[in-house]
Amino acid sequence: MQTIILGSGVPFPDPERAGASTLVRTSAGDLLFDCGRAVLMRAAAVGASAAALRAVFPTHLHSDHITDLNDVVTTRWIMSLQPSPLSIFGPGGTAGLVQATEAMLEPDVRYRMTHHDDLSWPPSAEVTECERGELLVDGAVRVTCAPTDHAPVRPTVGYRVDDAGGSVVIAGDTVPCPGLDDLCAGADMLVHTVIRRDLLEPLNIPRLNDVFDYHSTVEDAARTAARGGVGTLVLTHLVPAPRPEAEHEWAERAQAHFDGAVVVARDLTSLDVGPEAAAASASP
Ligand SMILES: [Zn+2]
């Protein structure tokens, strides 16, 4: 199993960092967690495509995590030679989001179906709203979810993927919470969104100050990883985005609270998942 950070960025546009998105390549196919800005451009860079996705899993409905869902839906539709419903698992509200996305795309669907004789079906999705428990089982692959705490954004979920020889948790945006601890127990890897309160607080910008309430700091994420006995902690969705020469500061802050391997993600950081991969190196 392989984890690829497709987008390590946040709402602020950054030419080096696409929006939040993580691809997990399993023995049962490609699983996409969140689909922020430019997700399919980054997916193309690693040979992944919307048409081949096994399923999509938004952690929550904040725009920076779902803004390119419409691109995934449309691109899968126009690149498939036969009807290919997209499986989407997500927290409550996901079904409404997908319905609204399909409504937004109605003119495009009409134009294309009118123009292309071989395209006789509209895009479609099979949506399963989830809160806790098992979502998908296929061979050695098992995907589970549990509630996270990103209040006042509710509901939100995190996910865990188990495959032969490895397990990875996708936390999404959350403060430390029991649901995330449940997912992390004994996992090989934790992909966690993080902020640096020590850098943001001195700026004293009200809209930035608000993010402290519902995001984990680097130290929070490290303590979550330590409680779960996780092998590798991957820091992503970095606020404020560090320059390459400052990334080591983020890792050192995590290492003060966590004995495992720490990776500060860039876009296309790719990591093998498994006990032997705990010391894996990042390949930006
Ligand atoms: Zn969020």
Q: In angstroms, rounded to a whole number, what is the distance separating the alpha carbons of residues 242 and 256?
A: 19
What distance in angstroms lies between residue 115's CA and the mean position of ligand 1's atoms? Answer: 39
What distance in angstroms lies between residue 164's CA and the mean position of ligand 1's atoms? Answer: 31
Q: In angstroms, rounded to a whole number, what is the distance separating the alpha carbons of residues 237 and 220?
A: 14
Residue of 30, 34, 64, 267 marked catalytic? 64
What distance in angstroms lies between residue 103's CA and the mean position of ligand 1's atoms? Answer: 24
CB atoms within 10 A of CB 27: 12
pLDDT of 283 reads 41
8 A C-beta contact, residue 253 and residue 216: no
CB atoms within 10 A of CB 99: 12
What distance in angstroms lies between residue 194's CA and the mean position of ligand 1's atoms? Answer: 11
Q: Which of 193, 220, 201, 206 is nearest to 19 (CA)?
A: 193
Note if the bond before 58 is cis, omega within 30 degrees: no
pLDDT of 38 reads 98
Question: pLDDT tens, 65-111?
Answer: 999 999 999 999 999 999 999 999 999 999 999 999 999 999 999 99
Q: Which of 25, 4, 6 is nearest to 17 (CA)?
A: 6
- At 170, the amino acid letter reads I
Q: Which of 220, 232, 239 is nearest to 260 (CA)?
A: 232
CATH of span 2-274? 3.60.15.10
Query: Residues in the chain with pLDDT < 50?
Result: 279-284
According to DSSP, residue 268 is labeled T
Please give the model's pTM, rounded to 2 decimal places: 0.95
What distance in angstroms lies between residue 55's CA and the mean position of ligand 1's atoms? Answer: 21
Give domain limits for the chain: 2-274
Establish whether 64 is a catalytic residue: yes
* CA 121 to chain centroid: 29
269-272, strands of its sheet edge to edge: 125-129, 86-90, 53-57, 29-33, 21-26, 2-7, 269-272
Q: In angstroms, rounded to a whole number, what is the distance separating the alpha carbons of residues 132 and 169?
A: 14
8 A C-beta contact, residue 257 and residue 218: no
pLDDT of 229 reads 97
Write out 24-69 in H/E/C secondary structure. Answer: EEECCEEEEECCCCCHHHHHHHCCCCHHHEEEEECCCCCHHHHCCH
Q: In angstroms, rounded to a whole number, what is the distance separating the alpha carbons of residues 143 and 226?
A: 22
Q: In angstroms, rounded to a whole number, what is the distance separating the alpha carbons of residues 192 and 84?
A: 31
Which residues have their alpha-adjacent CB atom under 5 A from ion ligand 1? 62, 173
What distance in angstroms lies between residue 59's CA and the mean position of ligand 1's atoms? Answer: 9
189 sits in which H/E element: strand 189-195
